[in-house]
Structure 1
Amino acid sequence: MQYLRDLPKGRPRNPGLSCGRVSCQWNDSIWWCNELREPKTLNGWDSIADGAQRVWDFCSASVNYKLPKDKISGQAFHPTGWSVQIFGPEKDHCG
């Protein structure tokens, strides 16, 4: 997630009803999805990093078993019509 925070200032944009991969490190991938029919522009990469951090915090806190944290996957929805997804290494989203 730090990778996203370190990107040069910019405003991520996706066409309607689409997703785009924004990070693929350590076999985990981060995607952001526009859930609306019209194009969506976010305020910055920090917005996606914040969403990914929320997924990570929630899912890692919810795992009370002996599941390694590198197997965590999840999605967080923002009320303004977009979402962030994290896929762990068990999904092949980095290829």
Structure 2
Amino acid sequence: MSRKGDGEPDWEMAPDSDAAFEADAERRARLRDIADDIYGDTSESKQVAAILYRVSDLYDPDEDTSPEEIYLNVRHIMDIKAEGGLRKE
């Protein structure tokens, strides 16, 4: 989890998780189609595609996620990448 310099979670930057996201199969499918289109050989294209899939989960009634959770997950991934990845040599 991304943290501020004082060790606290980076909550103030996360979107308001009280927002309601109604199930929307068309929107979910459109986001996933875009993710499939941009998924490529580079780590960046794979990361953006993964983010779009996570955002599409907001519109899936079978998924339990929030904008805050997605934001914090993405921040964590970006922090790991900035530090050289999981498999630093």
TM-score by length of 1: 0.34
User: Larger Cα Rg: Structure 1 or Structure 2?
Assistant: 2
Higher strand share: 1
TM-score by length of 2: 0.35
